[in-house]
Structure 1
Amino acid sequence: MIRARYVEISNIMWPRVQLKVGWGDLAFGLWSSLRKPDRDTVAQRVEARWSPEGEALTCFSVRSGFDLALQALAFPPGSEILFSALNIKGMIRIVEKQALVPVPVDLDIEKMAPRLDLIERAIGPNTKAIVIAHLFGTRLELDAVIDLAHRKGLVVFEDCAQAFDGKAYKGHPESDIAMFSFGPLKTATALGGAILRVRDAALRSRMRAIQDTYPVQPSGAYAKRVLKFMGLKIVLLPPVFGLLFRLCHMMGKDYEDPVSDAVRNVASLGSSRKIRKRMPAAMLAVLERRLIRWREGSLDGFARMGDSLRRKLGDSVVLPASANRIHNYWVFPILTDDPMRLIRALRSAGFDGANLPRSKTVSAPPERPELEPDTAKDALDHLVVLPCYPGMSEAELERQARIVREVARPHRPPQPALAAE
């Protein structure tokens, strides 16, 4: 039974995530939309800053870059692309739209990493590539995975959308394509954009040639995006967010849809036309500003807050990805037996607990049912993301942890079966 003190709606609401962008960056984005710097010049500077070796390519989003790479690689229809079993819907849809087959590799919950033996089992005669995602702000150890993939002749995509840490990590030196996102909720957001590090010069050249045929997003569209996020930055202040929650509650509506739809995704998950664009000059200028002004150690505060909440929770819940050596807590996920019960208790107390509505597990192809990612599916069904970031006091972290300890019970997904010898 949820204790009575959690039933009354709180006056404030701590959002599950922050918009990690300052007012100065937003004002600079508007100014850049008006002055319209030379797009190609700024793109060249951003790429050179990211990779002095000349391996970088700026793209409209990670999904745009992934779609671009698959076009340039030109795998035969029916080719299989292995995925870390938990991903976002848009990445899977891109593979399917190019007549390719997404194939899941189930996860080890302690690291949220695809297991090596399961990768080997999933590789078949039509397998051409593998997409490995660093999830929740962790960084995976990839030496063994990349060695196996390259021995089998696979292209290795490293999805670093949730793992940005400035100069500290630009991707594993042996991955073929490392993809970093600067979308609305990302660590150094430019409200859109991505940088891909593509090791093979010929592939990078083909990708650039294809992208050069894309239209540039109009500067006016980016200016509207900046204005919208100025409004959202106000909405996501805890007192304002709490008022929105209370109003939606009084009207019998779920506040989740209008807020989530507003802050997520540069382009919709729909047609390829919506992601086959080039970054506008203003977005590139904001991205350059964010990279120039990034200070190493900027995520130390997030790591300290995450470690603190982790200690306060103890063994009351399961913490996925907790075994990784590097964890910056881009989000703070937990696994519990009854997620909606905990979410209701948290929201009533002013903490925006939530699941991951844009994420999904990759389903096994019908002819390969033994690859169904039961562990990842079970984890997603029992996952709750907790607010945890600088600006929350230790007292608020403790209050949140107390609710979790009193309401939740730990849930541990079944381990993937060992691959047959």
Structure 2
Amino acid sequence: MIPRKKLDVGLSHLLYGMACSFWPGSREAMQQRLEELWAPNSLACLSVRSGFDAAVEAMELPLGSEVLVSALNLRPMPKILQMHGLVPVPIDLDTSTLAMKRDVLERAVSEKTRAILVAQLLGSRLHLDEIIDFAKKHDLVVIEDSAQAFTGDDYRGHPESDVSMFSFGPIKTCCTMIGGMLRFKDKTILDRAKQIQAKQPIHNRWAFFGRCLRYAYLKALSNRISYTVTMRLVYWAGCENSIVNKQVQSFRGSDPEHFRRQPSYPMLALLKHRLKTFKGESVKKRLAAAETVIKNMPGVRRPAQDAPFHSHWIFPVLSSDPQELVEHLRRKGYDTTAGYSSFVVFDPPEGYEEFYPEEAKHAMDHVVYLPVYGGLSQRELENLGKAVAEFEAAQAEQERPKDLEPEPQVPHVEKVTT
């Protein structure tokens, strides 16, 4: 069975991280070198949610302020805003681009609105000029969540974004199992965020060592034979999503004490090493794989298919029957999954019911994630695309109303008179 996702980290990187756990280097000096490598006005964090939490506190927004948020987001993001006494207002998305709908933004902004959190989703990357103009018009802080958008190029967020955030967590591009980088437009806000982070306990280096060991095990398990045997047992036990998703979570549970920590020396050292040596080869192979699959499933819709740039960090399609498509592809040897995984389309808070994100909710209710990445053969990729296309075509045929089917043609027979 072909695994649903390939971790973008090699055994050599894991060994490097484990070795750094034994090295008594200066954590402060390593953090400074990493931040200088990333971009001016940067902050290295244990994770994006750690940095986001510190950044929101540093902004000192008034209690009860509204934050306009991409309706599709990672589960912790709206919760972190609420922890700081802010009101996250979901903004529905255009499925074809995953951009915030401008008409909804215009309706949602109010005198209490202070910020906008825009997510670059699924590996796509939007031009944010329109969002920046909207924010300037209404005097809003712009927080750009590019956790899923790193590709190895020099993009560090829109230059006018007040904060830009990138993740290097378990299933991200250039994975270091945990870690995030933030870039700030305003050095005053950066300095406050650094002071907030400096008061937090340091993440245990041996916990990072254990994380490297766990991912070495997961890398070994991704061998197709081992993976197939393991997943068959998991399917049989009926606990597939709970087991698989737990293995690639940065944190267990929602307790902020888990992520309110400073990054450890070995994490900083590994992230610096990876950023210096990352050439983007995995991204190039992933793009080529995605192109092959797309060519072989014409007519199948994908979230963000019309985005101006897409790195296909993950590869979702929209299906008329997600669970049946998952079973169909598994029978053909492709491990897939449907649903929300670590994502959430969050409901509007009380009093904001008019902003229920119908389109984003409908899209995520019909999503299936395909295993599309470098390392699969041309035939495997072509067969995957064809299998999806054939399934959706068959579903469309079954759902076609009977009254639209052409009536059978009765041959005309002329009467012969004698």
Match of 2:305 in 1: 322
Q: Structure 1 stretch 292-301 or stretch 70-79: which is displaced more?
A: 292-301
1:276 aligns with 2:260: yes
Q: 1:388 aligns with which of 356, 363, 372?
A: 372
In 2, Cα distance between equivalents of 1:145 and 1:120:
11
Q: 1:255 aligns with which of 218, 240, 250?
A: 240
In 1, Cα distance between equivalents of 2:148 and 2:238:
30
Match of 2:164 in 1: 178
- Contact kept, 8 Å, 1:102 with 1:362, in 2: the verdict is no
Displacement of 1:254: 2.9
In 2, Cα distance between equivalents of 1:252 and 1:30:
33
In 2, Cα distance between equivalents of 1:14 and 1:298:
17
In 2, Cα distance between equivalents of 1:149 and 1:245:
47
1:341 aligns with 2:324: yes
Match of 2:19 in 1: 31
Displacement of 1:361: 0.7
Match of 2:405 in 1: none
Instruction: State TM-score, norm by structure 1.
Output: 0.91
In 2, Cα distance between equivalents of 1:131 and 1:70:
11
1:18 aligns with 2:6: yes
Match of 1:402 in 2: 386
Report SS of the residue matched to 1:403. helix
Match of 1:311 in 2: 295
Q: Deviations over 1:131-160 (max 9, x none)?
A: 111111111011011111122111101010
Displacement of 1:252: 3.3
Q: Considering only CA atoms, is the larger Rg found in Structure 1 or Structure 2?
A: 2
In 2, Cα distance between equivalents of 1:117 and 1:327:
24
Query: Any unmatched runs of 5+ in structure 2?
Result: 397-418
Match of 1:228 in 2: 214
Identical-residue share of aligned pairs (%): 37
CA RMSD of aligned residues (A): 1.5
Report SS of the residue matched to 1:299. helix
Gap change, CA 1:36 and 1:189, over 3 Å in 2: farther
Matched to 1:258, the amino acid is: I
Q: 1:377 aligns with which of 361, 374, 378?
A: 361
Q: 1:137 aligns with which of 107, 123, 127?
A: 123
Matched to 1:178, the amino acid is: S
Matched to 2:327, the amino acid is: R
Gap change, CA 1:132 and 1:263, over 3 Å in 2: same
Q: 1:162 aligns with which of 140, 148, 151?
A: 148
Displacement of 1:269: 4.1
- Contact kept, 8 Å, 2:8 with 2:282, in 1: the verdict is no
Displacement of 1:164: 0.1
In 2, Cα distance between equivalents of 1:133 and 1:329:
15
In 2, Cα distance between equivalents of 1:167 and 1:99:
36
In 2, Cα distance between equivalents of 1:254 and 1:394:
32
Match of 2:347 in 1: 363
- Contact kept, 8 Å, 1:334 with 1:385, in 2: the verdict is yes
Q: 1:102 aligns with which of 65, 88, 94?
A: 88
- Contact kept, 8 Å, 2:292 with 2:382, in 1: the verdict is no
- Contact kept, 8 Å, 2:282 with 2:374, in 1: the verdict is no
Report SS of the residue matched to 1:35. coil
Matched to 2:248, the amino acid is: V
Matched to 1:125, the amino acid is: E
In 1, Cα distance between equivalents of 2:58 and 2:168:
23
Displacement of 1:405: 1.9
Gap change, CA 1:173 and 1:269, over 3 Å in 2: farther
Match of 2:73 in 1: 87
Displacement of 1:297: 5.7
Instruction: State TM-score, norm by structure 2.
Output: 0.91
- Contact kept, 8 Å, 1:90 with 1:269, in 2: the verdict is no
- Contact kept, 8 Å, 2:97 with 2:303, in 1: the verdict is yes
In 2, Cα distance between equivalents of 1:178 and 1:388:
27
In 1, Cα distance between equivalents of 2:179 and 2:282:
20
Report SS of the residue matched to 1:103. strand
Q: Which 4+ residue blocks in structure 1 deviate beyond 6 angstroms?
A: none
Q: Deviations over 1:269-295 (max 9, x none)?
A: 411111100111000000001001011
Gap change, CA 1:183 and 1:296, over 3 Å in 2: closer
Query: Any unmatched runs of 5+ in structure 1?
Result: 1-12, 412-421
How many residues are matched?
A: 394
Match of 1:419 in 2: none
In 2, Cα distance between equivalents of 1:111 and 1:244:
36
In 1, Cα distance between equivalents of 2:26 and 2:184:
24
Displacement of 1:268: 2.7
